[in-house]
Homo-oligomer: A and B are copies of this chain.
Amino acid sequence: MVLRLSSLFLRTLREDPVDAEVASHKLLVRAGYIRRAAPGIYTWLPMGLRVLAKVEAIVREEMNSIGAQEVHFPALLPREPYEATNRWTEYGEGLFRLQDRKGADYLLAPTHEEMFTLLVKDLYNSYKDLPAYLYQIQNKYRDEARPRAGLLRGREFIMKDSYSFDIDDDGLEAAYQAHRAAYIKIFARLGLEVLPVFATAGAMGGSKSEEFLHPTPVGEDTFVRSAGGYAANVEAVTTVVPADIDFTDAPAFEVMDTPDTPTIDTLVAVANQMAARPEGPWEAIDTLKNVVLAAKLPTGERQLVVLGVPGDRAVDFKRVEANIASHLEVGGEVEIEAATEADLKKHPTLIKGYIGPGNGLDHAVLGSQGASGILFLVDPRVVSGTSWITGANEAGKHVFGLVAGRDFTWDGTIEAVEVRAGDPAPDGSGPLETARGIEMGHIFQLGRKYAEALDLKVLDQNGKLKVVTMGSYGIGVTRAVAALAESNHDENGLVWPRNVAPADVHLVVTGKQAELFEAAEKIATELEARGIEVMYDDRPKVSAGVKFSDAELIGVPTIVVIGRGLAEGVVEVKDRATGEAANVAVDEVVELLVTTVNG
């Protein structure tokens, strides 16, 4: 069916929508692909739906090709399965919850691990039934605190989510690798550059996990990579841990008056003065700052945590959020913020600006065993034998030469501080550089967490019940459309890769003579008969200028102009991406276009 602009449900806009910040959002709205229905919730217009359908088809084909089978779950689900895995609570405010007319609790599913687990439990009971790979392409719901950037972070969006079920870890690894390979193919076919990076599993639980990031400056995710091939998102980067230091000969710590040094900068200035003294042993030691944070638990509770980190490194709250759950003995998404004055008042042993891990082992303040009772975690660089300038838990005083493992202990270590360009990659592949990206996909080895919670067991080769191990794999389908727009546009509009373009060829008639329209109709009909998808600007009263700018905005890969040249038997064929144009004999143009489109 030829898409005729005279009747196509499409209106282009000259102005950017006021709420749009990124190019994909601006252009998808301006070119008539989507419209906003509510914050983070979009309507798909006919052109948008065509692109979306092509993306879905590629995803579907590659999932089918690894033997994954398509199913379709409801979006509206009862509370109980999510209660069993504790996610009803753990998801916190990010979950849309509602009640039916009888007062029963429901949710709009943000992801479907529970339901897939229960379905496999319902149908399967033997190791012979495994492996099983199941997937769906379906609406997901997340009540984002800050929906942004159009389709890039929405509240209703389409995901392909798949799940693997295996009897053992080898099976899970094979399923993971099959999905990883399929994802690489999918993004290649979409024409979307992605980089698999190590990731943390976050609220999903599980162990091994990689994100597929599309590098772009508008991405929300910061990641790092080394020239040697290491890549990880910032949450997942691990610090190169120094070796322990023998502290046998380390001098004893010394409490000193350091008035007016409530901040690291003021302390460092004083410490430098100290170091300049001929009599002191403290010329080469670093400051340890003890940062009080509040963790907002999914249960609604607020728990204080102190982080002891090198004074020259800022705490990265997202890294803390990604890595703190195991220390809190609480699953789910934890929100981290700086402790408030009110928080501090409840703990009189904490003296702002002079907080330290204790003045010695026998009168510790921090740590679960200390006077404050507050969990005390340290940066991985704080290894046994390192010596620090830190707070003395007394106003105006710091302690110099406090030795880790000798003078203070901690409850655990945590990856909590900012990663910097130049930090070493953990695998020794060189210094890291930072970049930004959009998360396009995510693959997880979930392991047995969900199967255990929901009691998914099958009989193994020996007739014994065994808990199944699972993987979970997602691709943001609507997000992929936005990322494609983000990475395929110029100042005039969208420039779709051929595999996902809403049409193959855009015919533009410039002029009013009937012969032009007749020639265009003939080309359109012939192209369609050859399986080419044609958009045809047949609007009789629209100027050539408007038609050209609409064509550039809409972004179909090949534009054919039927205009003055027709009198000499030629039409112009223009490549939207390169801008290259050539006159082609009108009776050769169909053949040329078929070759161009089919590659």
Which residues does A use to contact B, with CB under 8 Å?
1, 7-11, 32, 35, 37-38, 41-46, 49, 52, 64, 67, 69-78, 93-94, 96-98, 100-101, 106, 108, 115, 119, 122-124, 132, 134, 139, 141, 143, 145, 155-156
Q: How far is the CB of A534 from chain B (nearest CB, A)?
A: 15
Q: How far is the CB of A417 from chain B (nearest CB, A)?
A: 30
Q: Nearest residue in B to A145 (C-beta to C-beta)?
A: B101
Between-chain CB contacts (< 8 Å), 5 pairs: A1-B64, A32-B123, A42-B74, A45-B71, A74-B156
A35–B119 CB distance below 8 A: yes
A43–B115 CB distance below 8 A: yes
Q: Which has the most chain B C-beta neighbours within 10 Å: A9, A10, A45?
A: A9
Q: How far is the CB of A146 from chain B (nearest CB, A)?
A: 11
List B contacts of A71 (CB < 8 A): 9, 43-46, 49
List B contacts of A106 (CB < 8 A): 38, 96
A9–B76 CB distance below 8 A: no
A37–B115 CB distance below 8 A: yes
Q: A76-B155, A101-B145 are in contact. Are A9 and B123 (CB under 8 A)?
A: yes
The interface residues of chain A, by DSSP majority, are classed as: mixed
A76–B41 CB distance below 8 A: yes
Q: How far is the CB of A584 from chain B (nearest CB, A)?
A: 31
A70–B46 CB distance below 8 A: yes
B122–A76 CB distance below 8 A: no
Q: Which has the most chain B C-beta neighbours within 10 Å: A32, A42, A108, A134?
A: A108
Copies of this chain present: 2
B69–A8 CB distance below 8 A: yes
Q: What is the bound-complex CA distance between A37 and B7, given in angstroms?
A: 42
Q: Which has the most chain B C-beta neighbours within 10 Å: A74, A108, A139?
A: A74
A134–B41 CB distance below 8 A: no
A76–B108 CB distance below 8 A: yes
Query: Which listed residue (B64, B94, B96, B124) contacts A76, Cβ 8 A?
Result: B96
Known: A46-B70, A75-B156, A100-B143. 4 other contacts (CB 8 A): A11-B123, A37-B77, A44-B71, A101-B145
Q: Which 8 residue pairs are nearest across A and B when measured between Cβ atoms?
A: A98-B98, A44-B72, A38-B78, A93-B101, A11-B123, A9-B69, A41-B74, A46-B69
Q: What is the bound-complex CA distance between A9 and B41, given in angstroms?
A: 33
List B contacts of A76 (CB < 8 A): 38, 41, 96, 108, 141, 155-156
Q: A43-B119, A98-B98 are in contact. Are A11 and B75 (CB under 8 A)?
A: no
A11–B124 CB distance below 8 A: yes
Q: How far is the CB of A201 from chain B (nearest CB, A)?
A: 24
List B contacts of A9 (CB < 8 A): 69, 71, 123, 132, 134
Q: Which has the most chain B C-beta neighbours within 10 Å: A69, A122, A145?
A: A69
